[in-house]
Amino acid sequence: MATIANQPRCDVCGNKLVKNGKTGAGRTRWRCKNCGASSTVTRPDITAKKQFTGFHRWATGKQSITELGTPRSTFHRTTAWCWQV
């Protein structure tokens, strides 16, 4: 069994994290058995999808950046990677 899917690692020491209940927001809370650090893992796929949707909407010219409801500087920062797609 070499699957590492859905098994985040500790930012601090790189150890595997174990599930440690949930946060108030319903996210799984993770805890490192080695150093005791706890973290919640943001789902980069979901965040990226949201960013790319906004980027795509803007790039196809139907909406201006201001209409997307995101500050211009934030928009450029969060969608800079989209240009590489």
Q: How far, rounded to the nearest angstrom, does the alpha carbon of residue 19 sit from its chain's CA centroid?
A: 18
Q: Per CB under 5 A, which region of 4-12, 46-54, 57-65, 68-76 contacts Zn ion?
A: 4-12
Contact pattern from residue 19 through residue 58 relative to Zn ion, giving x for each residue in contact according to CB under 5 A and a dash for the rest: -------------x-xx-x---------------------
Binding flag, residue 18, Zn ion (CB under 5 A): no
**Of residues 56, 53, 5, 13, the one with CA closest to residue 32:** 13
Whole-number Å distance between alpha carbons of 10 and 41: 10
Strand order in the sheet with 38-40: 17-22, 28-32, 38-40
> By rule CB under 5 A, what count of residues binds Zn ion?
8
> Using CB under 5 A as the criterion, which residues of the chain lie in contact with Zn ion when the complex forms?
10, 12-13, 15, 32, 34-35, 37
